Amino acid sequence: MTQSALPIGVFVTPVTPLQQNCTTVWCVKTNKAAVIDPGGAVDQVLGEIARRGLTLDQIWITHGHLDHAGGAAEMKEKTGVPIIGPHEDDLFWIEGIPRQGQMYGLPEARTFTSDRWLTDGDTVTLGETTWEVVHTPGHTPGHVVFFNRESGFAQVGDVIFQGSIGRTDFPRSDHNALLHSITHKLWALGDGVTFVPGHGPISTFGAERQTNPYVSDRAMRSTPIARPATGPS
């Protein structure tokens, strides 16, 4: 996305073998930054933040899966900044991060204590920018999305991807809730919103409404709704 005229900056660092999009956002007026979903590669992400002359201010978590949250404890220990999010309904996933790490060959992943749980309609402030919190259950019960209205940008975690949607074959996942989160909460933010998903390339809500085989306007008029058997975590 073009950043020159926007109040925020964005860079993405793929981390873990699952290539999760660890996203760093910052306020261009203050250079205060937040890392969204530090699943791993903590030193690499912190090194890039320092290289760009930014100051890490917060850690934001969209949901409690290993590849999104497994490095949060290490990043907090190394920087002292607070961990914000997700919704408290994902606490059981956060508590299970060490077990997830053993399963996926990432034994360094650790659980953490969130400094602030988030709920639908909350806001978080980063420098002079304000971000809206949208609770988007379905992939996990406590999943949240971070949305900066002024720039038309969202980090959506594993709710939706370019051409796909989040898996719902996990404990306490809910396919119908995921569809509702996308079509009633995310679409309401506007077709022009650019989003970084938890995996893969960026897209816009408008493009997904036209072409996404699971949640496009055309797909949602059809029955039954197709469900992805596999996909990003």
**Element holding 197 (H helix, E strand):** strand 194-197
Mean pLDDT for the stretch of residues 180-203: 98
pLDDT of residue 227: 52
Pairing of strands 203-204, 194-197: antiparallel
- pLDDT of 187-197, one tens digit each? 999 999 999 99
Burial tier of 55 (Cβ tally within 10 Å: 0-12, 13-18, 19+): middle
Give the strand order in the sheet containing 55-60.
8-15, 20-27, 32-36, 55-60, 83-84
In the predicted structure, residue 156 carries a pLDDT above the cut 70 = yes
Cα separation, 23 vs 92, whole angstroms: 24
In the predicted structure, residue 211 carries a pLDDT above the cut 60 = yes
Cα separation, 35 vs 74, whole angstroms: 13
Domains delineated in the chain: 8-221 (3.60.15.10)
- pLDDT of 119-151, one tens digit each? 999 999 999 999 999 999 999 999 999 999 999
